[in-house]
Amino acid sequence: DGGITQSPKYLFRKEGQNVTLSCEQNLNHDAMYWYRQDPGQGLRLIYYSQIVNDFQKGDIAEGYSVSREKKESFPLTVTSAQKNPTAFYLCAGSSGRTGELFFGEGSRLTVL
């Protein structure tokens, strides 16, 4: 089995705490992405990375941080600066040339 693996699937956090969502891929994708999805809404881009050691802000980067130290890994940290972090987070990978995204199963974060 393989593809895009996200963990944990469910996560609960107290206000003021940072939390890191893991995203690992074994598809040799150059590009990786983090999207946020709120109930009844579309997918909004948080951060993306097209090569190792480089990443760019998406449309809603405030309160989030990422790293891309390895091609296989693109973790997302939801910081205490994110005012409304409860959401469904989706990681995706792409070969970059075609644009086709392969999504992980998602991580559902709830702030208590």
Partner 1 sequence: GENVEQHPSTLSVQEGDSAVIKCTYSDSASNYFPWYKQELGKRPQLIIDIRSNVGEKKDQRIAVTLNKTAKHFSLHITETQPEDSAVYFCAAYDYKLSFGAGTTVTVRA
Cβ nearer to partner 1, comparing 77 with 88: 88
> How distant, in Å, are the alpha carbons of 74, 82, 97 from that of 107?
14, 16, 27
Question: Which residues are at the interface with partner 1 (CB under 8 A)?
Answer: 33, 35, 40-45, 48, 50, 58-59, 90, 94, 98-101, 103-106
* Residue among 8 and 17 whose Cβ is closer to partner 1: 8
- CB of 10 or CB of 18, closer to partner 1: 10
Q: Token pair 């995706």 is at which residue? A: 92
**Cα 102 from chain centroid (whole Å):** 13
